[in-house]
Structure 1
């Protein structure tokens, strides 16, 4: 059953987004963020463009974050729909809101990484990266070890 925009809305106001809920979702259920600290969730949110899907009771049921310079580049990440709200079209609703918000910025590139939602993102305009061999990643530093 598809979600109706009458039943849900997307907000970009961080004050309306319950970061305790976002932290719980990401740190316990999102494979890419397992164990992420509450402080890291807060810091990342404050430095990003945030999108929350709220139901009629203003309860958060979905979240996405966009890291951007608002001039040339954006990275869509931390996209999550709560288990109880899945299957209602909210992922597409959220992705559409993100794309509609970013389009007026006329960014040169908007990227994301997904394991299994390619079809959803294709519906809002994403395509495969044309030259994946050009992508590189800087590995995080190894944790410090202390000599006794």
Structure 2
């Protein structure tokens, strides 16, 4: 199916939270084992986008943002059986055209293998990586 058939919504009431939680907590390296309560707080505190084909959610992206200056793009996925059809690119185009994100000074993300997806939307490697710091707790969900 062409990406143009993807319907995108930023309404949390449209999200298939069961599917999104199951995929993130069971199928991703970055959120495996995430407690449900943590997931629900993350969704409630973020700007979320769902991608739908014929009413079924097949894609998701979440931005942690103040909607004024900065955002962190995370939890982006397209269900495996729908990949390779341009849906991720369509989702990104919609997100970055969103009026609530148009004036942001900085949008950040972390990816291990999807640089090809984000580069066409203006993302590039850090110009000054020495300025960035992180407190990374990869096992935090195992302790919860």
TM-score w.r.t. the length of structure 1 is 0.87
The ranges of structure 1 where at least 4 consecutive aligned residues each deviate by more than 6 angstroms after the TM superposition are none
Write the mapping of 1:20-99 to structure 2, written as runs, cut at 5 A.
20-56=18-54, 58-99=55-96
The CA RMSD measured in Å over matched residues stands at 1.9
Larger CA deviation: 102-111 vs 78-87: 102-111
Q: Determine the structure 2 residue equivalent to 1:16.
A: 14
Looking at CA atoms only, which structure, 1 or 2, has the larger radius of gyration?
1
Q: Among residues 107, 110, 133, which one is paired with 1:113 in the alignment?
A: 110
The alpha-carbon distance between structure 1 residues 102 and 125, as it changes in their structure 2 partners (threshold 3 A), is farther
Name the SS of the counterpart of 1:21 in structure 2.
helix
Relative CO higher for 1 or 2, CA cutoff 8 Å, sep ≥ 6? 2
Structure 1: state its 5+ residue gaps: none
Work out the number of aligned pairs and report it: 140
Q: CA deviation at 1:23?
A: 0.5
TM-score w.r.t. the length of structure 2 is 0.89
